[in-house]
Amino acid sequence: APLNGVNPVTTTLPLVRDQFRNLEMEGQKEYIEVMGCKCEKELSHLLRMAGIIVTSLTLLIELASTLTELITFKLQSFVLSLYLVMFLTATLFAELRFIECFRNMTYRCLKHIYFVSSYTGRGLFYIFIGTLLFDKAIGYILGIMMIIIGTINVVASNVCPGKLPVYVDKDPLEDEENAYSAPAPVSPPPRAATAAPTWTPPARGGAPVASPASVVPEPTTTSAFSRAPNPVNPFAVPHKAAPPPPPAASTASAPAPVAESGGKGFLSAVADLATGNMSGDTVAAGINFMKDNKEHLTPDTIATAAKLASMAQGSQK
């Protein structure tokens, strides 16, 4: 856990990496030398060279044996030789990792079996491979040599712990540092759900009204009996919203004009009744309009017009 707001892992790893760079500047580019006697350094060098020579020789023999057994179709011996080729290749990479030009290539293989990077792990792996070679005359010789090399590696790493020269790969430390320092992936915010455009049926005598959740409709005519437009394409650029409709009472009292034979129309009849300029033609036109267009008028409008018409007829009498 962070102490006083400082993560000890992210603080320590850069220091270790700087130490590696300082050691490289001092000429120790192949491996990090831990303080030890000259004999121990020479022993590690001899073990490394002996391992490379014996492993390379055994690998070449096993490759030839694998091809021979593949031709003669000896399945059991072929599978064993194939395993030995893979194990010997990994062991050879473990020894070549001390050479600078091979480090990138060997690390890609050894990061999956990283135990062979230590003296103890590599020594036990030598002993394991040596026991698998006891199947032919040359195999006994190579197997005994690999068991001897593996035993010396195990004994030397336990008798002189911390004194043999070792090499620590920089890549695992950098990967661990990046894992701690990299910010957590941020998932994009959830996309807001867009309400589907809906339309409220038009009121009698009024224009169609869109619900608040719908998209602004495209420009259309302001006629009270015009057909309601289809829902707007959500990808279209919205137009400027139309001004709010007038109150329901005034909207209901303003129906569409009557046919030409209806005279001045219902609006004229209402205006004449209100001002007292009543005429028979005007009243008849208003009554005919109500009969022909009653499905477009609200009940209040019909009732008001009926009262006005009755008053007009009474005044005529």
Please give the Cα distance from 154 to 120 (Å, whole number). Answer: 5
Check residue 57 and give its pLDDT: 92
Check residue 148 and give its pLDDT: 92
Check residue 213 and give its pLDDT: 47
Stated pTM of the model? 0.42
Please give the Cα distance from 212 to 199 (Å, whole number). Answer: 9
How many C-beta neighbours within 10 Å does residue 191 have? 6
Check residue 261 and give its pLDDT: 40
Strand ranges for the chain from DSSP E? 199-200, 209-210
Share of the chain above pLDDT 70, in %: 38
Please give the Cα distance from 267 to 282 (Å, whole number). Answer: 10
In the three-class reduction of DSSP (H, G, I as helix; E, B as strand; rest coil), residue 122 is classed as helix
In the three-class reduction of DSSP (H, G, I as helix; E, B as strand; rest coil), residue 142 is classed as helix
**The amino acid at 53:** I
Check residue 128 and give its pLDDT: 92
Please give the Cα distance from 231 to 174 (Å, whole number). Answer: 58
- In the chain, which residues have pLDDT < 50? 2, 9, 27-39, 197, 210, 212-215, 221-228, 232, 234-235, 237, 250-264
